[in-house]
Amino acid sequence: MQPENETRLRKIERISGFLRGLCKLALSFYVAMTLVMVWSMLGGPGHDFMGANYVNFHIHELPARDRLIVGAMWAATGGIMFKAVFHIHQLLGNYSRGEIFTRESASQVQQWGFAWILWGVIKLLWLGVPHIVPGAHRVAGAAELEALGVIFNGLIIMGFSWFTAMAVEMREEQELTV
């Protein structure tokens, strides 16, 4: 490998390690946030007024069934956000080891794109909450467009993962012919 490329690779490895640390903080935040929200939904002390994806509600005014529905939605939302950051964390781990154009890295990018699609879907599902939870109400906003934009971004990311996987296959094929 040429010296300037080795320098670039070391920089990628260093920056990836730093960003991976930030991902660890974000993962901790999402776990804590999800636990607090679900705890509040189940009647624990916390905020009385909450909102998610253009849907607002007073927690303590919701009957138990509705709290369970909203709590399940919060748990699903937190789980999807965790999944998205987890796959970036894994991808940056690969990069920090110098494993950039590998099948594993392509797979992590694909899973990250899938998480974005799930995130868009859960945003759309939140819009249905006021129809099944009478105490919840929708606030003004372009929530549908935002959710569809998130899904679209997920599809683009999955397309990039496909390109990366194809590049890995081409590189492996080229290495075999040499």
| Residue 92: predicted pLDDT | 95
Count the neighbouring beta carbons within 10 Å of the beta carbon of residue 72.
12
Q: What is the DSSP letter of 145?
A: H
Per the structure, the complete domain to which residue 102 belongs is given by 3-177
User: pLDDT tier at 59 (50, 70, 90 boundaries)?
Assistant: confident
In single-letter form, the type of residue at position 97 comes to R
Q: How far apart are CA 1 and CA 124, in angstroms?
A: 48
Q: Give φ, ψ of 37 to 5 degrees.
A: -65, -45
Rounded to the nearest 5 percent, the helix, strand and coil shares of the chain are 80, 5, 15
Mean of pLDDT over the chain: 89
| Residue 61: predicted pLDDT | 83
In the chain, pLDDT over 70 holds for what percent of residues? 96
User: Per residue in 66-100, pLDDT tens?
Assistant: 888 888 898 899 999 999 999 999 999 999 999 98
In the chain, pLDDT over 90 holds for what percent of residues? 56
Cβ-Cβ contacts under 8 Å for 1 (sequence gap 6 or more): 9
Domain count for the chain, please give it.
1
| Residue 46: predicted pLDDT | 61
Q: Does the CA dihedral 12-13-18-20 come out positive or negative? A: positive
| Residue 88: predicted pLDDT | 96
Q: What angle do CA 74, 115, 159 make, to 5 degrees?
A: 160
User: pLDDT tier at 178 (50, 70, 90 boundaries)?
Assistant: low
Instruction: Say what the pTM is.
Output: 0.86
| Residue 52: predicted pLDDT | 78
